[in-house]
Amino acid sequence: KCAEVAMRAVRKSAKLADVCYDIRGPVLARAKQMEDEGHRVVKLNIGNLAPFGFEAPEEIVVDVIHNLRDASGYSDSKGLFAARKAVMHYTQQKNIAGVGIEDIYLGNGASELIVMAMQALLNNGDEVLVPAPDYPLWTAAVSLGGGYPRHYICDEQSGWLPDLDDIRRKIGPSTRAIVIINPNNPTGALYPDSFLKELVEIARQNQLIVFADEIYDKMLYDGASHTSIASLADDVLFVTMNGLSKNYRACGYRAGWMVVSGEKRHARDYIEGLNMLASMRLCSNVPGQWAIQTALGGYQSINELIAPDGRLTRQRDLAWQLISDIPGVSCVKPQATLYLFPRLDPRIYPIEDDQQFILELLEAERVLLVQGTGFNWVQPDHFRLVFLPHEDDLRDAIGRIARFLEQYRKR
């Protein structure tokens, strides 16, 4: 008879020790459990458009189906020529100079490219300036790449604009790059040109690479327009991320792109690294790539949704008004995206653990939000809400949040 062998625990890699992605974290696991038990949970936690009736434009769907037979093989590692050509034209519309086909990489969503861009760049101990609050994949990707995410503060009092002095203070000998998310998730801020120009100057003086996440660049309200930071200089290295997930309501197609522009001459080695990583994953999913040319060149139906009486605008206005009406809750009105990032006055809501707070809300009212610390915001006094549901559903969901907060105040 064999002696029983003590089983060794299978542990995750130490590389993941500082990696965190709470948007799909433990609170979501509890929400799923509640759904399995037969409860309906209102999910205001993820910027996934299709479940709320925001579907990909028919033109894209038809073209993907049409091209499916040509999508069985691997493509070029960087992606289909026609799709990259369409992205190249898009960079021209956005006044990003000097972009050729070889400067464009297609990926399984911007997500894959964000991780790839950090893996190709970082050595242990390199620092990257990342916004707080941020879209947490950026912080996670820096950590996973062996780097150190150094968070710069976005200032709620100034409409969530990044604090330039804080950025300057946090630049040191190991700082390699700065990430800006514009329009911003989770705050909904859209950065003015004057700010972008100052940021470019900081990058220029300190030889920082600018990673610009512009995935919401068409989801703008009140007639606003978006400037790509990469259009503002040709002597700074820019890596710009974008994709079909949000502007074209095609999250599930996993179609994103990355554009390298500006001061490329000194970045040949880094570009070689990017090319190697793109080759190692062979290519991104080809059916999704077929959607890109049609999306970028076709009818821009997003404009209907963001018009003054468009569905997204109406939902933004309503959600912002209802949230702002709750005692002790304030919120900078988003100029873009599909999120609110409200503040809970700590004198009225003395929250110590915001994940616990979000969990209690879920248990009591079956509404799922994401806690502010999930976006690397330090104080436990914010949460993010997605205003994707129809107006009646938003009234119901925010009504439940208000009811929970009323109980909280009475504690």
**What does the binding site for ligand PLP look like in residue numbers (CB under 6 A)?**
47, 109-111, 135, 181, 185, 213, 215, 243, 245, 251, 256
Q: Which two tokens stand for residue 314?
A: 């109406």
109 vs 372, which CB is nearer to ligand PLP? Answer: 109
Residue 390 CB, nearest approach to ligand PLP (Å): 21
Please, are residues 32 and 24 in contact by the beta-carbon 8 Å criterion? no
Answer for the pair 198, 205: CB distance below 8 angstroms, yes or no: no
Q: Considering beta carbons, is residue 77 or 285 the nearer one to ligand PLP? A: 285
**Separation of alpha carbons 190 and 266, rounded Å:** 30
Question: What region, left, alpha or beta, does residue 379 occupy, with left being phi > 0 and alpha being psi -120 to 50 degrees?
Answer: beta
8 pairs with which residues across the strands?
Answer: none
Question: Cβ of 298: how many Cβ atoms within 10 Å?
Answer: 16
The least CB distance from residue 215 to ligand PLP, in Å, is 5
Report, in Å, the least distance between residue 348 CB and ligand PLP: 30
C-alpha to C-alpha distance for 50 and 97, rounded to whole angstroms: 34
Shorter beta-carbon distance to ligand PLP: residue 130 or 326: 130
Q: What is the CA radius of gyration of the chain?
A: 22
- For ligand PLP, give the closer residue by CB, 332 or 351: 332
Minimum CB–partner distance for residue 407 and ligand PLP (Å): 31
CB 109 → ligand PLP: shortest distance, Å? 2
The DSSP code for 182 is S
> Whose Cβ is closer to ligand PLP: residue 288's or residue 389's?
288
Question: How far apart, in whole angstroms, are the C-alpha atoms of residue 203 and residue 178?
Answer: 8
- Least CB distance to ligand PLP at residue 181 (A): 5
Closer by beta carbon to ligand PLP, 121 or else 351: 121
State whether residue 52 is helix, strand or coil: helix
The angle formed by the CA atoms of residues 196, 201 and 206, to the nearest 5 degrees, is 125
Nearest distance in Å: CB 360, ligand PLP: 25
CB-based burial, 39-55: b 16+ in 10 Å, e otherwise: eebbbbbbbbbeebebe
Provide the H-helix boundaries in 122-236: 137-144, 164-170, 193-206
Closest approach, Cβ 214 to ligand PLP, in A, equals 9
User: What's the longest Cα–Cα distance across the chain?
Assistant: 77
Our CB check for ligand PLP shows the closer of 224 and 364 to be: 224
Q: Is the peptide bond before 133 cis (omega within 30 degrees of 0)?
A: yes
Return the amino acid letter for 210: V
Distance, CA of 258 to CA of 192 (rounded, Å): 22
Q: How far is the CB of 368 from ligand PLP (least distance, A)?
A: 16
> What separation, in Å, do the N-terminal and C-terminal C-alpha atoms of the chain show?
62
For ligand PLP, the nearest residue by Cβ is 109
**Alpha-carbon distance 379 to 354, whole Å?**
9
Q: Which is nearer to ligand PLP, 188 or 326 (CB)?
A: 188
Q: Which is nearer to ligand PLP, 203 or 370 (CB)?
A: 370
